[in-house]
Amino acid sequence: MSTAAGQNLSLGKLRRAIDGNDSYTAEFAMSTAKGSSAKVQMSEFSISSVDSVSGYAYLWESTAETYTMNFSNAGALFLSKIASRDENFTWSDNSSILSVAGDYTATVTAGAISNANTGTGADDDWYAAGTNNAAVAVTGSFNEDGQSNGFNDHATNYNTNLYKTLTIVDSYGGSPSCLLIGTPIDMADGTTKLVEDLEIGDEVLSMNMPGQLDEDNDDWRSCRFSDEKTETFTQHSASVQDINFDFAHNYWNINDGQEKITGEHEMLYKPLNEDVWMWQLVPNMKVGANVMDKNGNEVEIKSLENIPSDEGFEVVQIDVEPLDVYFGKTFLVHNKGSNVNPF
């Protein structure tokens, strides 16, 4: 546990951390702190240190992601009783296009980045996507009810600012994790629709993948699936929640047109000589490895070609829920999220 023999812990400060009442003399029972009459120890509300703020290193403009403050040796009731209160955390940022608020899991929201150059509105008077990426910092501090002398003030980095540096990606209106205009998308009803013709609320063909974490969980990319596990995958539907149009200066052509996709888009992938599937970016894939089609079949990658253009290609990015996956022209792909610079 995070407490040591002989250490002083204040029941009054514990109350303040739990409900904001700063009366040190009012009667307060440990059973009230826990919310039941079962036996409870003060160490169950304690931590030994505040460690870091974790989350994506890159955040698309006009989107939001969750960033998490991490603790060591947290007692069994710490997260539910203390860390779940917004009042026990101070979040801030150093940018006018960013906002952040929350408890130990803070929502960081990026505003829009203008791509206008001189403001004439002419077709060529715009900055390309990625031109105005903004480096920003999110600051988080754990200080119970805003106090420097809290119940957990013994913890390392208590009431100390922790920083998470990230880049707001100037995506020119959308995430650069996209499919090319003209890509046919399989719909849930068995028909197809060009990606640029999709509408909010459309039901696309998706895949139910037991064991796959939601994209709100930072660790969703760490999910692994054995060949046997993929046999439990079943076709499902997912609803289109967001559609963005953008321009990309290159894309990847897989198997002579079976998929045309930007390099920042995660796809389900099985490496060479392995029997485990994972999420992978196209530039990191190898010829001879495998990707998955809508029937759950593994398809060998026979060719990978990067196609550049100074003029750019029009692309479309969609977000689907509640499942975060759908099929491009041929293969299973994921929605979004990045720890790498898309430009």
State the residue for tokens 């895949």: 207
The residues with which 226 forms a beta bridge, in sequence order, are 276
124 CB-near residues (< 8 Å, 6+ apart): none
Return the pLDDT at 313.
82
In a domain, 174, yes or no: no
Asked whether residue 220 falls in the same domain as residue 109, the answer is no
The answer to whether the peptide bond before residue 322 is cis (omega within 30 degrees of 0) is: yes
> Do residues 200 and 286 share a domain?
yes
What is the Cα–Cα distance from 143 to 162, expressed in whole angstroms?
12
Which residues, including other chains, have CB under 8 Å from residue 285's CB and lie 6 or more apart? 267, 269, 291, 301, 304
Q: Provide the β-strand partners of residue 107.
A: 66, 101
Q: What is the edge-to-edge ordering of all strands in the sheet holding 105-110?
A: 49-54, 64-72, 105-110, 98-102
CA atoms of 101 and 87, how far apart (whole Å): 10
Number of domains in the chain: 2
Same domain, 157 and 209: no
- CATH code, domain carrying 303: 2.170.16.10
Same domain? 158 vs 193: no
Residue 162 pairs in a beta bridge with 140
Amino acid letter, 206 = S
Residue carrying the six token digits 């119940």 = 151
In a domain, 3, yes or no: no
Residue 341 included in any domain:
no
pLDDT at 342: 46
CATH of the domain at 148: 2.60.40.1080
User: What pLDDT is stored for residue 312 in this prediction?
Assistant: 75
- What sign for the dihedral angle of Cα 228, 231, 236, 239? positive
Whose CA is closest to 227, among 266, 277, 267?
Answer: 277
Confidence (pLDDT) at 175: 45
Looking at 116, 135, 169, the residue that finishes a domain is 169
User: Is 127 a member of any domain?
Assistant: yes
Q: Is position 33 within any domain?
A: yes
Residue 200 lies in a domain: yes
Q: What local confidence, expressed as pLDDT, does residue 1 receive?
A: 42
Do 197 and 111 sit in the same domain of this protein? no
- Give pLDDT, residue 336: 57
Examine residue 5 and state whether it is found in any structural domain, yes or no: no
pLDDT tens string, the chain, 343 residues long: the values are 455 555 677 888 999 999 887 666 667 777 777 777 778 899 999 999 999 999 877 787 877 888 999 999 999 999 999 999 999 999 999 988 899 999 999 999 988 877 655 555 454 545 555 567 788 999 999 999 999 999 999 999 999 999 999 888 776 544 455 788 899 999 999 999 999 999 999 999 999 999 998 877 767 888 999 999 999 999 999 999 878 777 777 889 999 999 999 887 789 999 999 999 999 888 889 999 999 999 999 999 999 999 988 777 888 888 888 988 999 899 888 875 444 444 4
Residue 295: how many other CB atoms lie within 10 Å: 8
pLDDT reported for residue 169: 76
Q: Are residues 118 and 144 in the same domain?
A: yes
The verdict on 19 and 136 lying in the same domain is: yes
Q: Which of 150, 169, 188 is the last residue of a domain?
A: 169
Q: What per-residue confidence (pLDDT) applies to 314?
A: 82
Final residue in a domain of this structure, among 169, 193, 224: 169
Please report the pLDDT score of residue 340 as a whole number.
46
Residues 205, 274, single domain; the answer is: yes
Q: Are residues 118 and 204 in the same domain?
A: no
- On whether both 92 and 20 belong to a single domain, the answer is yes
Alpha helices in 171-276 (DSSP H): 227-230
Domain assignment of residue 303, yes or no: yes
198 and 111 in a single domain? The answer is no
Residue 313 sits in which domain range?
179-334
Q: What was the pLDDT predicted at 265?
A: 78
Pair (164, 69) in one structural domain: yes
Cα(175)–Cα(77) distance, integer angstroms: 38
